[in-house]
Structure 1
Amino acid sequence: MRRTFARRAAVIGSAALLLLGPAAAVAQAEPEPVETSTSSLPAELVEALQRDLQISPERFLSDAQRSQELAAFAETAREQFEAIFAGVWLDAQGIPTVGLTDGEGFDEARAAAESAGFTVARAENSESVLEDRLSALNDWLETQPPAVADLIRGIAIDVVNNDVVVRAEDVAGIQLPEFLDGVRVLFAPTELTLEDSADLQPVAGLAAPDALFGGDAYAALGAGEGLRCSLGFNAEDASGRPLNITAGHCDPNRAQAGTAWASQVHQLIGDALGQHLGSFEKTVLDGSDYGLIRPTPDAEDRFRNNGVRVPFAAPLPITGIADPVVGAPVCKSGLRTGYSCGVVTATGQSVEIGHRVLENGFSTNLCALQGDSGGTLVTGTLALGISSASNVGQYGMCEIAGFVSGLVGETPELFATPIRSILDQNPGLKVRTW
């Protein structure tokens, strides 16, 4: 039987409208976020914000905060106004918006939204109606032969266009039933390609900076393979011991994570291996995509910080965690492409990537290439997710990726695992905010 996608409502924004859409859950940092000034944003991030989003650092921080306020409102509204609630989003100007349909409770819901400082937009269908449509599509897929069903790699709700979106490997080969007339079909993502590093050798006496931050380069060596990836968020377990949260698909010997045969992690300095940093203690690719790197005793202190950066530049201090909200500004860091910024384009979606399904993930209109896997995604100074998959990872430059994807009416997309999902699966695990 075909694997189902509609385990929960998936929500996607409209590319034509800077990809707007709803929030997934209450966003509450652990600990509470601290007030952040623009002076804490490194110059490289400020440059990326201007280049990619044409927004100021002040706008980046304020939109990030408003997105989390929307996320908290959506959590309550989905229960209190289920019949008329149609999603939340930040629009292209950063205006927090709540979608509502006509019906009983509309005036009460509008008053609640407006008193919270949000704008109300009327919608034709509620989220619950769109979820029913999503479920009908999923049921239809279950009845189809592999030749049809295997073309579908993901399904999602588009709250902005009030419709359902299908992700497919071949957009020209999809013939949907009549009850799904008008459904948009988008290309499916592929796994973010990894750059082989099996030929790298340690260099005696190679010096390295003391601290290691999210976005710095590492090589994972195991089972006769080697992969170049980017460090994710520094963290601590329930015992206060340091860890780094990165992508699970960066582990070349996943079955042996946490054993004496686990993949070994080394710092990458240019094209050479630096210090032995640790090994993969846990690797997950079922539903989520994350790995936990346990540092060696000699390297532990290098991970005791809350920074994210472009390799060897000044770090951005992480002050809390956040939930992805469509339309919210997001920036990623990675060893290959450094900082790039865009917006969250979808939340809560399940998409098939290679031979696995990324569940409850989110996507962004960011370019990510070989080596960016495992790196960090932030909104403001809040940890948001870990880089997992891209639809343009095979290209050598983001400029080429943007041009090629534009020819088929698409934009680069980076798919990520929410940091909160990782923390929820690992009680006691905390992203460092100090």
Structure 2
Amino acid sequence: MSVSKSRSRRSFARASVFCAVAAVAALTSGAALAAGEVSPALKFAMQRDLGIFPGQIAQYLQTEKLAREQAASIEREFGGNFAGSWIERKDDGSFRVVAATAGARKSSTLGGVEVRNVRHSLKRLQQSMDLLDAGAHARVKGVSKPLAGVQTWYVDVRSNTVVVKVDEGATDAGIDFVALSGADSGAVRIESAPGQLQTTANIIGGIEYSINNTNLCSVGFSVTRGATKGFVTAGHCGTVNSIARIGGAQVGTFAGRVFPGNDRAWVSLTSAQTLLPRVVNGSSYVTVRGSAEAAVGAAVCRSGRTTGYRCGTITAKNVTANYAEGTVRGLTNANACMGRGDSGGSWITSAGQAQGVMSGGNVQSNGNNCGLPASQRTSLFERLGPILSQYGLALVTG
């Protein structure tokens, strides 16, 4: 099978630079910017991340403008032989626009754009890409093996191939994937990439997560345990080693849990997740400042995936609740309304002091107690302090 295997660090680094240049191009698209209009912060970032020094910015911006203005006309010029266009950095640090054609045309320039001859048209590469997509869809649905080891695939106009990226040591998985898809192996290049592909999530109090793809609960607060990231939540949401997902993607597992007796847990997250010292408040956020415990009668608000951000006052402490699963002691009661799915969510004061995680309440047939007068609501939360102490956790604050 003529699938080439490339592990060249040089080509990987060059591709990374070109991707970063494209990102900057997106920032400058629309009205063309003069070098003097680029903010100092962006100039600094371009120099730091791309190696584009201040004296080279004007030439880059001119090149970016040329690429944008010529894109449509180049595609029309080459027709079905069009094989893509891109911005490329030359050895002297300056930039140029390159367009590729699979037609019988001598390399030349076209409106200031360098023309190169290649083997495959963009249409042909896309056909292989479509076959890979279709093959992946079938395999995920269970027609064949899962795509273990395969990270991404895409049309790379610079190399005139479809690149399939795999985990290190998983080249055979990539070859198998291409072969089963029916894609043109001569148009595919397999590359290994360090690490494993995974999604990232912003961990914010009050957002939804699922447990083992079934139950829904809410994030309490971002925490750390040494170098390990995590969040606290209610113990009844999951058992130890239960898988937590946000947006359908696995983000971590339950590392510790007590229920009944108490209703506390913490979820250990993968390093890719981003911990934020925030609690969702509608379309905005409340910053978590600390965890000083508020007094009876103090105003307190809670955030959860079902009923959103609701406020009330603390009415009692050291409450014992008689749940069907068993009694839970040491809870705090407040009269902010709650609903199913809010479990594990954040309780916080107006001053940003984290109080605890949602445990339960007197839920009505509609799934919440928001229709009851405040005086009749039971909304119970597990205090944050004992959770942090039991598991050796540190609250993430801002």
Shorter-chain TM-score tier: 0.3 to 0.5
Higher relative contact order (Cα pairs below 8 Å, separated by 6+ residues): 1
